[in-house]
Amino acid sequence: MAANRHASYAGAGCHAPVGAGLRLPDITLAAVLASAVLIAPSPVESHDIYVGVYTRQGVPCCDESDCVAAPFRVTPDGVEMLVRGVWISVPRWYIQYRALPGDTTPHRSHWCGALHLVPTNGVNTMTRCAILPPHAL
């Protein structure tokens, strides 16, 4: 029956209706899912900006899971960074003033260290690197 219905279009020199046999919700869902896969950054892509950033001892700051964008503030006691909702003091010897190519974060500041050890009291025992914009201070 469907062949006869479309045959009348061919006989008149026309094409069958676009999307014949496909339902719009199926197409829309497929388009949304494909877009989500293309837009979502992979963990490797999000840590690419830390490649080539090393501590003063020559150890990479990031192992692809322990660096995060972190706002900073300058206090009378030094620099503090907001990591996982806690302002932690960052000793100055961990701080690097540099721009990271590809950085699109609003503050252009990043913290690298043991994320699983972020304290609740602000005492810092786990920073590996702190990256601030070149003219932050």
pLDDT by residue (tens digit) across 49-61?
Answer: 888 899 899 989 8
Mean pLDDT within 76-91: 91
Residues 23 and 86 in one domain: no
Q: What is the pLDDT of residue 36?
A: 42
Give a yes or no: residue 124 inside a domain.
Answer: yes
Host domain of residue 31: 2-39
Calpha distance 62→65 (Å, rounded): 7
On whether both 104 and 120 belong to a single domain, the answer is yes
Task: Name the nearest CA neighbour of 114 among 65, 56, 48, 50.
Answer: 65
Q: Is 55 buried (19+), middle (13-18) or exposed (0-12) by CB count in 10 A? A: middle
Give a yes or no: residue 137 inside a domain.
Answer: no
Q: How many domains does the chain have?
A: 2
Examine the domain organization and report whether 109 and 71 are in the same domain: yes
**Are residues 50 and 29 located together in one domain of the fold?**
no
Tell me, yes or no, whether 32 and 53 share the same domain: no
Please state the pTM of the whole predicted model: 0.61
7 and 74, same domain (yes or no) = no
Confidence band (pLDDT; 50, 70, 90) for 27? low
Of 17, 16, 35, the closest CA to residue 27 belongs to 35
Pair 35, 52 in one domain: no
Indicate if 57 and 123 belong to the same structural domain.
Answer: yes
Give the mean pLDDT of the chain. Answer: 73
Q: Supply the Cα-derived Rg of the chain in whole angstroms.
A: 26
